[in-house]
Amino acid sequence: RPLRAPEAFTLVVANPADSGPKFGVEILYLRRPGQLGKVHVSFSSSDCILRSSNVLSLRLPDIYPRTHGIVVDGQRIDLPLQAESNDLWLYPDGTWKVLSEHQSTALRDRNQLGGMDAIFRTQNTLQIISHSQKARHTAVQISRNFCQYLGADTEILESGMGPPRQYSNIVRVVLSNKLPASHLKDFAFQVDSFNGVSIRTTAGQMTYPSSAGLGAIFLRPLPAGAVELVVWGYDADGLDVASRLVPMLPG
């Protein structure tokens, strides 16, 4: 059966978690998240030729290696015809290699990729955890807006009421208190009322000392592909500012 793909096409992706395949070709991960990833695919009589930009990993359909030789960024790839996975990964030395699922680099689950709206990639109830009585008002406001604008099913909990439900995404609302430890050791984003906000980047450490009106909002990965959105404020004003950046929270 002939391959039903055009002689050439281009796949452009901003966030792999929100994108699917095009004619069987799928971008799985980007080298630099936040920038577009592109794959241009063209066919000759014998080869499938792919040129990539800002792509760390991509997946090819099973039929491609059975009908064409595979060439990625000038490198000819030997894909097993009966492979369980045709996932290609770009190594630091610039070479592309085929890795099975259990060999793949330890990266975030695709449900954890993207901006703050990643919090909505769940089939379970969104759990909103208030870490103090003063933070509960903000937690209720977030829950109300999720329900009103997204029809989301939410549950408001108090900190210390037991472990969160497994596989559920979480919104943590914290006023002044130190956050619970991240699932990832030495997470790049740290906040507490004494030290303020500390962010580790490739360019070095950035620090924002504790002060009136200081707030922060960021995502942290959880086990099993879940994610938590942390809404933190040094004081009530800081928490109010941070909460206005919660997806779908108007104001």
Q: Which residues pair with 219 in a beta bridge?
A: 229
246: closest CA among 212, 219, 227? 219
**What are the structure tokens assigned to 5, written together?**
């793909």
- In the predicted model, is pLDDT for residue 85 greater than 80? no
pLDDT one-digit tens code per residue, 15-46: 887 788 898 899 998 888 878 999 999 999 89
pLDDT one-digit tens code per residue, 131-173: 988 899 999 999 998 888 888 889 998 887 766 666 689 999 9
In the three-class reduction of DSSP (H, G, I as helix; E, B as strand; rest coil), residue 64 is classed as helix
Provide CB contacts within 8 A for 137, sequence distance 6+. none
Kindly indicate the confidence band of residue 100, based on its pLDDT and cuts at 50, 70 and 90. low
Q: Report phi then psi at 31, rounded to 5.
A: -70, -40
Q: Measured in whole angstroms, how far is the alpha carbon of residue 100 from the centre of its chain?
A: 21
120: closest CA among 241, 224, 246? 246
SS (H, E, C) 98-155: ECCHHHCCCCCCHHHCCCHHHHHCCCCCEEEEECCHHHHHHHHHHHHHHHHHHCCCEE
Q: Which residues pair with 158 in a beta bridge?
A: 130
Q: How far is CA 100 from CA 50, 53, 67, in A?
A: 20, 22, 21
Q: What pTM did the predictor assign?
A: 0.69
Query: H or E stretch including 67?
Result: helix 63-67
Check if the beta carbon of residue 168 is closer than 8 Å to that of residue 162.
no
Check if the beta carbon of residue 235 is closer than 8 Å to that of residue 132.
no
- In the predicted model, is pLDDT for residue 56 greater than 60? yes
Provide CB contacts within 8 A for 16, sequence distance 6+. 26, 27, 28, 29, 30, 37, 110, 113
Task: Give the pLDDT score at 249.
Answer: 47
